[in-house]
Amino acid sequence: MKRLFDLFTGLFLLCLFWPIMLLVAIVVRVKLGSPILFKQKRVGYNEQIFTLFKFRTMTNEKDEAGTDLPDSIRLTKVGLLLRRLSVDELPQLFNVIKGDMSLVGPRPLLVRYLPYYTVEERKRHSVRPGITGYAQVEGRNLLDWNSRLTLDVKYVESLSFLLDLKIILKTISKTVIRDGIADVPDQQMLDFDVERRMKA
Tell me the pLDDT band of 187, cut-offs 50, 70 and 90: low
Residue 185 DSSP symbol: G
Position 65 scores a pLDDT of 76
66-102 burial by CB neighbour count: b if 16+ within 10 A, else e? eeeeeeeebbeebbeebbeebbbbbbbbbbbbeebbb
Q: Select the more confidently predicted residue: 189 or 152.
A: 152
The domain tally of the chain equals 1
Mean pLDDT of 64-72: 74
| Residues 175, 168: Cα–Cα separation, whole Å | 10
**pLDDT tens across 29-56, in order?**
999 888 999 999 999 999 999 999 999 9
For the full predicted model, state whether its pTM sits above 0.85.
yes
* Rounded-to-integer distance, Cα 78 and Cα 162, Å: 36
User: Of residues 127 and 1, which shows the higher confidence score?
Assistant: 127
Provide the pLDDT confidence category of residue 25 given band limits of 50, 70 and 90.
Answer: very high
Tell me the pLDDT tens digit for each residue of 125-142.
999 999 999 999 988 777
For the segment 71-81, the average pLDDT, to the nearest whole number, is: 84
List C-alpha distances in Å: 181 to 59, 73, 77, 113, 116.
Answer: 21, 18, 16, 22, 25
For the chain, what percent of residues have pLDDT higher than 70? 94
Beta bridge mates, 55: 37
Smallest Cα–Cα separation from 53: which of 63, 44, 65?
44
C-alpha to C-alpha distance for 125 and 86, rounded to whole angstroms = 24
Q: In this predicted model, what pLDDT tens digit does every residue of 154-179 receive, in sequence order?
A: 999 999 999 999 999 999 888 877 66
Q: How far is CA 125 from the centre of its chain?
A: 15
pLDDT band at 7 (very low <50, low <70, confident <90, very high): very high
Query: Using 50, 70 and 90 to split pLDDT, how confident is the model at 184?
Result: low
Give residue 151's pLDDT band: very low, low, confident or very high (50, 70, 90).
Answer: very high
Residues pairing with 75 in the sheet: 58
With bands split at pLDDT 50, 70 and 90, how would you rate the model's confidence at 185? low
Averaged confidence pLDDT in the chain:
90
Q: Which domain holds residue 171?
A: 2-199
What per-residue confidence (pLDDT) applies to 188? 62
